[in-house]
Structure 1
Amino acid sequence: MTERSTIASTRRLLGVDAARAVALVGMMATHLEPRIGPDGGTSTAHLLAAGRASALFALLAGVGIALASGGTTPPRGRSWLQAAAATAARAGVIFAVGLFLGAFESGLAIILCYYGVLFLVALPFLRLGAGWLIGLGVAAAVVTPVLSQALRQTVTTPLDSAVPNLVTVLLDPGGTVVNLLLTGYYPVLTWTAYLLVGLGVGRLPLARLGVAAALTVAGALVAVAAWVASSRWLAGGGLAELEAAGTGGHVATGAVDADLLHVSFFGTTPTTSWAWLGIASPHSGAPPDLLHTLGSALAVLGLMLLLEHAIGRAIWPVAAIGSMTFTLYSLHVVLISTLIPRTTDDALLVHVALAAVIAIPWRRYVGRGPLEAVAAAAARAARGSVAGGGPRS
């Protein structure tokens, strides 16, 4: 390996952090902007970000786990034990913060507890290479929605425990677990597709221009193909079938009509008909939705990596925001609940500006964000606790 390639493999990838910033701003937009615009149609913020921002957030979780556990070289032996311990420790910190944020009256579908469980799901897959991981992720995008639809025919839980907090965990632990894994806003069963593809992408040499270009093109093609396929199926009789089946009381943001692909389903499809698995609607968890949002996430990541190649460290201010999304997302939830609610004039602009004002100097003069530092310390402690045991890689 040359000196140049060694530097490229070990330095922090600003494009990945920039993609995290895009995911954060997208989630802020869906939280703060109205779904219906002044013209009576779906607002631009929701057209662009609904379903896609959180999917990008989840895919980048897999990328981050892969980069932290060896990058292009999957861990083996003692290295795997250390990587697994560190990942589990991060999962614990993320889950704990998610429980804390769940106690706030934010009205948001907070992702962090689901995110923490996804980190645990990653553990047995850390040893696999890019090809296996991406293949398993694509297979999961097709198979897990079918499993979910079958399981949810007989299992229902109230959405009261879909945003976990300490109270729901203590009073309804079973419902909380079922929501986290199957019926909640970001069900781990179907969202494993994002995790696995992200892990696989994180095993690729992301610093290479060709890899960035391939992610952009492949992601865009998959996203467009999934959306077009769902649209044509709906126009060819699928919509009429879904209108006849109805939602059965399933929570959705709009009616079953010609605008169905812009209606959010809060994590899962209705179980009134297997035909619901043909929609690409945001947060439906149907195969076209998972494939479309996987593609869009890959395209955004590829574009940000290409942008890093094009402008170099000029992308650093955006990457600084993305380097501390754990802290900034948590602060965003607290601010919506307290000082800067949705009713604030230009709330999105205020939240994004505040994120930049905090992140850029913090990253420049301090380093890791506060919650990122806590998670990193927990990971180091966990890694150190197993450093002396187990077979060497």
Structure 2
Amino acid sequence: MPRRDRIAGVDAARSVALVGMVATHILPIEHRDGTPTAVGLLFDGRASALFAVLAGVGIALSTGGRVPPGPGRPHVAAGVGIAVRAVLIAVIGLLLADLRPLPLVILAYYGLLFLVSIPVLRLPPWLLGGLAAVWCGLSPVLSQLLRGGTRFPVQVGTAAVAAPGEMLWTLAVTGVYPVLTWTTYLLVGLAVGRLDLMSPRVAAVLLAGGTTLSAGASAVSAFLLGPGGGAEVLGRAADERLYGTTPTWSWWWLAIAAPHSGTPFDLARTTGSALAVLGLMLLLARWAAPLVWLPAAVGSAPLSLYAFHVVLTTVPMAETERPAVFVVHVVLLAVIGALLRGLGVRGPLEAVVGFASRWARDLVRGPERVP
């Protein structure tokens, strides 16, 4: 049975991330002249970042919410549960990648990201937020130092397991969703998940603060590239499509805020938009609950519906069919989400992963003592 204490605003925000990812996978994100389409402006880089921030929120909520696990065995038990969840999510991602779908599957990266959360589970929100701010600025610099250049995007499937070191390097540093820089999103999500998400004041701060952060990061990046002279150094290369990392031949690359560039300004811009969407959905869930019922239903089964969408993208389609295919995907996700909510059951993948995670956690934690 699904949890009755689910936070509708969080689930609704997950549906925004899911639909945004569907849109960027199917619809054009750039015009022929290289300028972004409406889909590109709204969702490119933002949808996947929102998904990652909400992954951190979900980890926090599943490990006590405002009250993190205690030291010793409770922390170990929570970590074991997360580790089992991480492995299963990664395996699902590797299997989906083997189907050669249209999008680059993100789940294997998420598996590693979940593992990163274990050591910091017990940190307070203020410290998690501070670490996120530091990591937002530091991790892109580390990425520039560690990498030898830009790599073309690759699917990380089960064949990659034969070379575990190379697979780990791709997931952590050089891939499309590199955990090195994406840990920023995780830390932010963990910090937010430790707050009182039922408070309208918290939701309003997330909305206002996130909007300000996103706009501010974009403005500073534009200043550095314009009056600051960065665009003159980078030239036309600054307009090229990036896939998780930037070229390493100039430090000016860290001044851009392009989608999936993994720079400080990209991370800050997309973190801000993620916080703003979450804050808005939390407020709507409180003041206009009927409006978020269907989005929350879809967002309560994100793993199953994401996997279903990825499988659907293996069906060939012509360029002219993309708008209709997008509508079909969204309608199917909405129908399945509503059916699951109406039947009072979890998504199949959520049920399996959740059961295994809870079983492992409870096995380590042992029976609870009744006072």
Q: Deviations over 1:29-66 (max 9, x none)?
A: 11101123478732110111000000000000000000
1:1-393 map, 5 Å = 11-37=5-31, 41-77=35-71, 78-153=73-148, 159=152, 162-170=154-162, 172-236=163-227, 237-243=229-235, 255-256=236-237, 260=239, 264-338=241-315, 344-345=321-322, 346-388=324-366
Contact 1:32 1:342 in 2 (8 A): no
Alpha-carbon separation, structure 2, partners of 1:194 and 1:293: 9
Aligned-pair distance for 1:312? 2.2
Aligned-pair distance for 1:11? 2.0
Alpha-carbon separation, structure 2, partners of 1:310 and 1:391: 40
What letter matches 1:114 in structure 2?
A: Y
Q: Deviations over 1:211-260 (max 9, x none)?
A: 000000110011000001111111111100112xxxxxxxxxxx536xx3
> Which deviates the most, 81-90 or 202-211?
81-90
CA separation of 1:40 and 1:99: change in aligned 2, threshold 3 A = closer
- Report % sequence identity: 48
Aligned-pair distance for 1:16? 0.2
Aligned equivalent of 1:251: none
Alpha-carbon separation, structure 2, partners of 1:55 and 1:376: 23
Contact 2:230 2:252 in 1 (8 A): yes
- Give TM-score, length-normalised by structure 1: 0.88
CA separation of 1:40 and 1:124: change in aligned 2, threshold 3 A = closer
What letter matches 1:31 in structure 2?
A: H
Contact 1:158 1:175 in 2 (8 A): no
Secondary structure of 2:247's counterpart equals coil
Name the count of aligned residue pairs: 365
Secondary structure of 1:386's counterpart equals helix
- Give TM-score, length-normalised by structure 2: 0.93
* Structure 1 ranges of 4+ moved more than 4 A: 156-160, 339-343, 389-392
Secondary structure of 1:241's counterpart equals helix
Alpha-carbon separation, structure 1, partners of 2:17 and 2:170: 23
What letter matches 1:227 in structure 2?
A: S
Alpha-carbon separation, structure 1, partners of 2:188 and 2:159: 33
Aligned-pair distance for 1:280? 0.4
Contact 2:69 2:78 in 1 (8 A): yes
Segments of structure 2 that go 5 or more residues without pairing to the other structure are none
